[in-house]
Amino acid sequence: MTLDAATRAAVLVEALPYVRRFAGRVVVVKYGGNALASGAHGGAGDRVLARFAEDVVLMRAVGMLPVVVHGGGPQIGELMGRLGKTPEFHDGLRVTDAETLDIARMVLVGKVNRDIVGALNLHGPLAIGCSGEDAGFITAAERDPALGYVGDVASVDPALLRHLLREGLVPVVATIGTDATGQAYNINADTVAGAVAVALGAEKLVFLTDVAGVREDRGDPTTVMRRVGADALDALVSSGAVGDGMVPKARACTHAVRAGVGAAHVLDGRIPHVLLLELLTDEGVGTMVVVS
């Protein structure tokens, strides 16, 4: 669709107050592994990544401070299969022995992180990849011995990310953390994104996934909520109305807004330029989570 000059001007005018409001403010964006998986072998997924990169670069160009946190579960599962290793899950979480941890580090740090950094840097020397192991900025704690090297976030030291932001760079974070002994753990990327947003005092926390937002009835795509309070979202999780992969996103959203993050958003990352539509327009396109 081609817009005429007047429509283009109207779009820019609509965006202007949001550009002013968010200039100099941190926006943490979690880019889901499901979106990346569709682009693993070229095609539509590559276009999704390219559009995502354009959105992040534009955000940086107008003065926002984006930080990207990424997942990679589908890619980890794919490489495990290619290596002849069968994934094992316990209560919906991947059991991670030493070999699986090595695979996760290879995929998250060596492949997915590089793909995102490369897509951003097509537009200039903007992005730098890191993981929670770098400068020990994510301290992990073992979640459950039955899960092996699966961790929770014990703490986030934002000094490294703040330094990169001051240098005008876009940090791209792979979600591996370490404990006090130096042992590495794979950590859920939704949880990390929420913790990073809190540590940085972010204005926004945004989850890009493969659904249109948080549904009041998870089986009915017409029940996407445009705005929901943290208490109401907690109740939906407790009742089972929000389930499966949306649970860690919901919990990260409610934790973040209660800890001072301005708002959290759950968006369909497959929509062209969805970040700009949500952040820089009056209507928005996903679910916004607020304190109340």
**pLDDT tens digits along 252-271:** 999 999 999 999 999 998 88
Q: pLDDT-based confidence at 292, cuts 50/70/90?
A: confident
The verdict on residue 254 lying in a domain is yes
The Cα–Cα gap between 76 and 86 comes to 11
Assign residue 127 a region (left: φ > 0; alpha: ψ between -120 and 50; beta: otherwise): beta
pLDDT recorded at residue 35: 62
Give the domain CATH number at 267: 3.40.1160.10
In a domain, 221, yes or no: yes
pLDDT of 7 reads: 72
- Flag whether pLDDT at 106 surpasses 50: yes
Query: Tell me, what's the pLDDT at 43?
Result: 52
Q: CB count, 10 Å around CB of 13? A: 9
pLDDT of 37 reads 58
Q: What is the pLDDT of residues 69-78, one digit of tens each?
A: 998 988 999 9
Q: Which residues of 50-78 are buried (b: 16+ CB within 10 A; e: fewer)?
A: ebbbbbbbbbbeeebbbbbbbbbbbbbbe
Percentage of the chain lying above the pLDDT 70 cut: 94
Domain presence at residue 232: yes
Residue 226 domain-assigned (yes or no): yes
Give the pLDDT confidence score for residue 128 in this predicted structure.
98
Residue 55: give the domain boundaries: 5-81+104-133+170-176+187-290
Residue 155 inside a domain? The answer is: no
Report yes or no on 271 lying in a domain: yes
Query: What pLDDT is attached to residue 47?
Result: 84
Nearest alpha-carbon partner for 101 in 140, 135, 156: 140
149 within some domain: no
Q: With 70 as the cut, is the pLDDT of residue 283 above it?
A: yes
So what's the pLDDT on residue 32? Answer: 81
Domain count, the chain: 1
* Confidence at 34, pLDDT banded by 50, 70, 90: low
Q: Which pLDDT belongs to residue 186?
A: 96
